[in-house]
A = this chain, B = another copy of it.
Amino acid sequence: MSEDDLVAVSQLRSSAMRLARRLRHQRVEESLSPTEMGVLGTLARCGKATPGELARKEHVQPPSMTRIIAMLEEKGLVRREPHPEDRRQVVVSSTEEAEQILNESRRRRNAWLAELAEGLDEDEWERLKAAAPVLYKLAHL
Given known contacts A59-B25, A140-B18, A109 and B13 CB-to-CB distance under 8 angstroms: yes
**Measured between alpha carbons, how far is A13 from B128 in the docked complex, in Å?**
12
Q: Does A86 contact B (CB under 8 A)?
A: no
Q: Does A141 contact B (CB under 8 A)?
A: yes
Give how many copies assemble into the complex. 2
Q: Does A17 contact B (CB under 8 A)?
A: yes
What is the interface of chain A, defined by CB distance below 8 A to chain B? 1, 4-25, 38, 59, 106, 109-110, 113-114, 116-117, 119-120, 124-125, 127-141
A-B contact pairs, 14 of them (CB 8 A): A8-B129, A11-B132, A11-B133, A12-B113, A13-B23, A14-B139, A15-B132, A15-B135, A15-B136, A16-B19, A17-B24, A18-B140, A116-B138, A119-B138
